[in-house]
């Protein structure tokens, strides 16, 4: 049984329905993050040092060879501030009271019982058949949350050094990137990274925002701190650009899966295919610079977005490995191809579930949790082999493959899953469906 520190929490005063009456002394009266309230506000600033070269035996994590950042980013600042917000009652429920366990088996899927989370979580307010949709300020977005939910700003230091300023005034001319609590957490320390919050960007990856997320992973310097991203159509619930992150003290099952190297790009980025895992995906790692790794992944994401293909991302190993996972669960739901048994679980397979952290809504499912059941659920998420190869072809067309070295070979990672699930997965997923393309067809979700 996994255990995390328990702290009593109550519902946040800043997450009530917006129709409720509030006192309006200044701005909108909610002390929100929008321009009506944020002028003159002071929010802590963590200004990070931009990393360029990948150096040291720990790769991207070891830029500080002769010095230590002034704040122990993950353990001291992030978790300390997150704990403070728990004590102040800014969460919808107490996630520390949720039962969690590692499911016996080769991959070690993690199960959490979080009864009622889907009822307390903000509902999706946009179409799920379009990966790209314009930002709508009339719907919920992160400028409407209270400033109390922000832990700190996270921005590059133009002076080149890491610096922490506890009480720094916001420059409205330069939209700040902020780290805020997730008021519906699924793990201790669950936060959101919101790039350039005042620019009101829709949920879509661009080069600048993805590089910011990679910097956060490298700055944390802890392999148990991962960032995730859900596109629209892949269970993102808010159409305002954001990444999620939290600390989990065990490996994700997806991190244990073997991979097969597909190619090495001219800038040193290695692209591999995920093997012997219920969801097909690509793994990006290496690169001569952090920028080159970031560009390769973000260009792949932009390709998926423009072709209306939903996807999830997991940033692991302090930013050294990125899992890119196109998926079609919502599409299969719309086509009636998901069994009633799986639908009854009410599990929406977003990045954390796909990576192996299963958030279960019913006690029955938690008590009966098994590696086989987790495998069966995630199998429905995956593209068929034929469709996955079509998607990969689209991605490789847009990624710079000049002078790429095409190689093959498997790693010496875990052996093939032998509980019988894999054959069933392959049979189910080899059903071919036309690939949705921009301007010709729409995703059917």
Q: What's the pLDDT band for 124 if we cut at 50, 70, 90? A: low
Instruction: Give percent of the chain with pLDDT exceeding 70.
Output: 76
Rounded Cα distance, 115 and 223, in Å = 29
pLDDT above 80 for 126: no
Tell me what pLDDT residue 23 has: 39
Tell me what pLDDT residue 110 has: 97
Output DSSP code: residue 47.
E
Q: What's the pLDDT band for 115 if we cut at 50, 70, 90? A: confident
CB of 129 closer than 8 Å to CB of 443: yes
State mean pLDDT over 241-270: 95
Closest by Cα among 435, 421, 336 to 388 = 435
Model confidence pLDDT, tens digit, residues 40-85: 889 999 999 887 754 433 433 334 344 444 456 767 899 999 999 9
pLDDT above 60 for 121: no
Burial grade of 367 (CB within 10 A; 0-12, 13-18, 19 or more): exposed
Rounded Cα distance, 229 and 214, in Å = 12
* Cα–chain center distance at 408: 29
Type and span of the H or E element at 164: strand 163-169
Tell me what pLDDT residue 400 has: 63
Tracing tokens 């597909």 back to the chain, one arrives at 262
Walk me through the domains of the chain, giving residue ranges and CATH numbers.
43-429 (3.30.428.70)
Tell me what pLDDT residue 39 has: 85
Alpha-carbon separation of residue 249 from 332, 366, 396, 397 (angstroms): 33, 20, 34, 38
**More confident: 249 or 75:** 249
CA dihedral 283, 51, 176, 46 (to 10 degrees): 110
Model confidence pLDDT, tens digit, residues 264-305: 998 999 999 999 999 999 999 999 999 999 999 999 999 999
3-state DSSP of 231-271: CCCCCCCCCCCCEEEEECCCCCHHHHCCEEEEEECCCCEEE
10 Å Cβ neighbour count for 123? 8
Model confidence pLDDT, tens digit, residues 388-439: 999 999 999 998 643 344 444 444 343 344 444 444 434 433 433 333 333 3
Tell me what pLDDT residue 301 has: 98
CB of 13 closer than 8 Å to CB of 5: no
Question: Nearest-5° angle of CA 313, CA 319, CA 320?
Answer: 105
Tell me what pLDDT residue 129 has: 78
Q: What's the pLDDT band for 35 if we cut at 50, 70, 90? A: confident
Tell me what pLDDT residue 49 has: 87
Tell me what pLDDT residue 74 has: 64
The pTM of the full predicted model, rounded to 2 decimals, is 0.84
Model confidence pLDDT, tens digit, residues 345-380: 999 999 999 999 999 999 999 999 999 999 999 999
Q: What mean pLDDT is reported for the chain? A: 82
Rounded Cα distance, 8 and 89, in Å = 8
- 3-state SS class at 360: strand
Alpha-carbon separation of residue 289 from 11, 186, 244, 248 (angstroms): 43, 33, 24, 27
Catalytic residues: 242
Rounded Cα distance, 53 and 62, in Å = 10
Q: What are the residues whose beta carbons fall under 8 Å from the beta carbon of 432, sequence distance 6 or more? A: 384, 386, 387
10 Å Cβ neighbour count for 309? 28
Tell me what pLDDT residue 381 has: 96
Return the bridge partners of 313, or none.
Answer: 229, 324
Model confidence pLDDT, tens digit, residues 139-181: 999 999 999 999 999 999 888 788 889 988 888 888 999 999 9
């Amino acid at each position: 049984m996994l255990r995390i520190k328990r702290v009593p929490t109550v519902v946040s005063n800043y997450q009530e329905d917006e129709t409720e009456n509030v006192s309006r002394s200044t701005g909108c009266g909610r002390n929100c993050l929008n321009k009506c309230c944020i002028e003159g506000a002071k929010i802590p600033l963590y200004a990070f040092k931009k990393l360029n070269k990948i150096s040291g035996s720990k790769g991207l994590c070891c830029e500080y060879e002769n010095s230590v950042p002034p704040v122990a980013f993950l353990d001291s600042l992030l978790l300390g501030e997150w704990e403070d917000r728990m004590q102040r009652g800014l969460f919808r429920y107490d996630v520390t009271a949720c039962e969690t366990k590692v499911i016996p088996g080769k991959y070690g899927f993690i199960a959490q019982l979080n009864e009622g989370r889907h009822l307390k979580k903000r509902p999706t307010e946009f179409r799920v058949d379009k990966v790209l949709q314009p930002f709508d300020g009339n719907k919920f977005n992160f400028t409407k949350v209270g400033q109390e939910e922000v832990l700190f700003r996270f921005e590059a230091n133009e002076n080149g050094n890491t610096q922490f300023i506890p009480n720094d005034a916001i420059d409205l001319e330069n939209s700040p990137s902020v780290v805020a609590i997730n008021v519906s957490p699924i793990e201790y320390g669950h936060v959101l990274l919101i790039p350039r919050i005042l620019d009101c960007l829709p949920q879509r990856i661009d080069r600048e925002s993805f590089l910011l997320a990679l910097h956060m992973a490298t700055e944390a310097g802890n392999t148990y701190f991962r960032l995730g991203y859900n596109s629209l159509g892949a269970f993102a619930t808010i159409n305002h650009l954001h990444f999620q992150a939290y600390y989990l003290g065990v490996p994700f099952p997806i991190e244990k899966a073997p991979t097969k190297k597909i190619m090495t790009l001219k800038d040193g980025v290695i692209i591999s295919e995920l093997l012997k895992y219920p969801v097909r995906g690509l793994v990006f790692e290496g690169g001569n610079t952090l920028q080159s790794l970031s560009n390769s992944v973000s260009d792949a994401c932009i390709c998926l977005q423009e072709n209306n293909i939903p996807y999830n991302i997991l940033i692991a190993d302090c930013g050294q490995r990125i899992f890119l996972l196109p998926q079609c669960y919502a599409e299969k739901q719309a086509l009636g191809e998901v069994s009633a048994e799986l639908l009854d679980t009410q599990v929406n397979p977003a990045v954390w579930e796909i990576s192996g952290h299963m958030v279960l809504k019913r006690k029955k499912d938690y008590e009966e949790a098994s590696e086989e059941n987790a495998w069966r659920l995630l199998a429905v998420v995956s593209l068929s082999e034929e469709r996955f190869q079509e998607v990969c072809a689209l991605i490789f067309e847009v990624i710079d493959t000049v002078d790429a070295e095409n190689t093959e070979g498997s790693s010496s990672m875990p052996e093939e899953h032998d509980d019988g699930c894999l054959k069933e997965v392959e049979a189910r997923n080899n059903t071919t469906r036309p690939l949705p393309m921009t301007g010709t067809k729409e995703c059917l979700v």
